[in-house]
Chains A and B, each alone.
Chain A
């Protein structure tokens, strides 16, 4: 068993078009590192120097990881991680 990671349309260029991929790790940070070893460049789209990018939402099962522990959120086999780009904008 592994951790399922659901990938939004705009990032499927990194996964060969796959809607979901599998990975492993004890924390979200480790999971993203593991994914990046097979889907190079994906991590960079989700994380910058200070943590998760502001306009990317990452959910562990049904919770936004911002309300859990961010990149340090523990993850385990059988979990589902969902990535969604924030829908945002403004008039400036």
Chain B
């Protein structure tokens, strides 16, 4: 199960809407081992594409090093699909490289409906999990 503060969920959706029709992507970092997403880090989509995303390699290096220095890890890795459902594609599964992360998928195909789902992707296997939006959690910042 992914437990996330409502403000962080809203930030992911706002980023996805802002970058539509391109795919948006990013990370929510949290203290290592805590499973608590806390620090919202929108990333550039180096592909600037409606059908593909890839973190910019230098930005990823800086962000990963910063997480390391702060003893954080990528608790959530999110990206959007702009014309299809919020479910991991074959491409998403084949490149998934953080077995401990919650992979959040958002779809922006319908401007009036927010699709927000979370998955574990490990060893080529996708497992959908419940998303609990915890109103009690304090939104960071």
Whether the Cβ atoms of A88 and B90 lie closer than 8 Å is no
Q: Tell me the bound Cα distance from A9 to B100 in angstroms.
A: 9
Tally of contact residues, A, Cβ under 8 A = 19
A85 to chain B, nearest CB (A): 3
Within 8 A of A (CB), among B27-66: 43, 47, 49, 51-55, 57-58, 60-61, 64-65
Whether B25 sits at the interface, judged by CB under 8 Å, is yes
Residues facing B in A30-83 (CB within 8 A) are 55, 57, 59, 62, 64, 66, 82
What's the nearest-Cβ distance from chain B to residue A64, in Å? 5
With both chains docked as a complex, state the minimum distance between the C-beta of B94 and any C-beta of chain A, in angstroms: 8
Contact A64 to B95, CB < 8 A, known contacts A89-B52, A90-B53, A92-B89: no
Is residue B97 contacting chain A, with contact meaning CB distance below 8 A? yes
Q: Are B57 and A8 in contact (CB under 8 A)?
A: no
Residue pairs across A and B with Cβ atoms less than 8 A apart, 15 shown, are: A9-B99, A82-B61, A86-B54, A86-B55, A87-B54, A88-B47, A88-B52, A88-B55, A88-B95, A89-B89, A90-B89, A90-B91, A91-B51, A91-B83, A92-B51
**Complex-state Cα separation, A84 to B89, whole angstroms:** 22
Q: Residue on A with the closest CB to B97? A: A85
Known: A86-B95, A87-B25, A91-B23. A57 touches B61 (CB 8 A): yes
**Minimum distance in angstroms from B26 CB to a CB of chain A:** 10
Cα distance A81–B98 in the bound complex, in angstroms: 20
Name A residues whose Cβ lies closer than 8 Å to a Cβ of B.
Answer: 8-10, 55, 57, 59, 62, 64, 66, 82, 84-92
Cβ of B98: which chain A residues have Cβ within 8 Å of it?
9-10, 85, 87
Q: Find residues 87-109 in chain B having any chain A CB closer than 8 Å to their own CB.
A: 88-92, 95-100
Judge whether B77 is part of the interface by a CB distance below 8 angstroms: yes
Residues of A within 8 A of B83 (CB): 91
Residue in chain A with minimal CB distance to B50: A91
The answer for the CA separation of A55 and B92 in the assembled complex, in Å, is 12
